[in-house]
Homo-oligomer: A and B are copies of this chain.
């Protein structure tokens, strides 16, 4: 159940400290020009080690295209995008194996997979796998060249001055969370289905596959619950469906309405805080104090925007194919 999508279909694989992570993409139309260089800008945005507050672990993050591309062009066959893990320091994790880390998947993975899980650095649960999602997002964005998909951080540690939010974390020697917003321009009308596969349903589905996400809201979101209907309703003003306000965030009845798509997500503080924590010691069976080793982000939210854009593009590409707005052969050749 590591797959996603109906016509633009992804299957993700890999482990943080295993040999590789990557993604297999089935359903990408033929004729799309694609080279390694296409991936680099978004992969760079996702990388740690650059921004204050992100992990010093660095991977080359060089995407290897192992199938589905011939003469720099997609063929219509499945695309395997593969990343080697080069810079692993698994010893860090084996040492602290006795403590299932709070906020991490250690304990649930152990229970679910009967103790056979690759526990090193979160294994298959690691945020490392978002590199593969970003890669898939790059392809989706190329398929959606007419759209503008942009995610931005609105808040860090409760502060809209992001620098101040980070400084709080550094001073407190603790990790912090944040709020990220995504906006999409030029989305056509009609994406989404009335029941079960509403545009919000599928976007939320994808968003909650990003580690550390705790909430999502569209348009006015939770504030809508405090408004009157006459305030919240967006008056339709043109034959193209443009509305006076955009409290709906571009989705009505589960379907895109041609206005700007707007949604926000809540990112929890990085679970790997530098501060001492308590957890069960699996060996002694007692709750004890311990500290997280390894290299981690103080604020994972800083790296989320490009991942959020990626899942958004992935979802929209799939819906565009369902609506037959992309996918015909030769559409990308010029």
In this complex, how many residues of chain A approach chain B with their Cβ under 8 Å: the count is 147
Q: Pick the contact of A196 from B1, B116, B218 — CB < 8 Å?
A: B1
Whether the pair A116, B73 counts as a contact (CB closer than 8 A) is yes
Give residues 281-334 of A contacting B (CB, 8 Å).
285, 287, 301, 322, 324, 327-330, 333
Q: How far is the CA of A225 from the CA of B215 in the complex (A)?
A: 10
Residues in B whose Cβ lies below 8 Å from that of A221: 214-215, 266
Once A229-B272, A239-B280, A287-B237 are accepted as A-B contacts, the answer to whether A214 and B208 lie under 8 Å apart by CB is no
Residue of B nearest to A178 (CB): B225
- From B75, B77, B114, B116, give the contact of A2 (CB < 8 A): B77
**Are B104 and A230 within 8 A (Cβ)?**
no
CB <8 Å contact, B30 and A113: yes
Query: A120: shortest Cβ distance to chain B, in Å?
Result: 8
Q: Within the oligomer, what is the number of copies of this chain?
A: 4
Give residues in A with beta carbon < 8 Å to B. Answer: 1-4, 6-7, 9-15, 18-22, 24, 26-27, 30-31, 66-68, 70, 73-80, 82, 100, 102-105, 107-109, 111-114, 116-118, 122-125, 129, 155, 157-158, 169, 172, 174-179, 189-190, 193-198, 200-202, 204-209, 211, 213-239, 241, 243-244, 248-249, 252-258, 266-273, 275, 277-280, 285, 287, 301, 322, 324, 327-330, 333
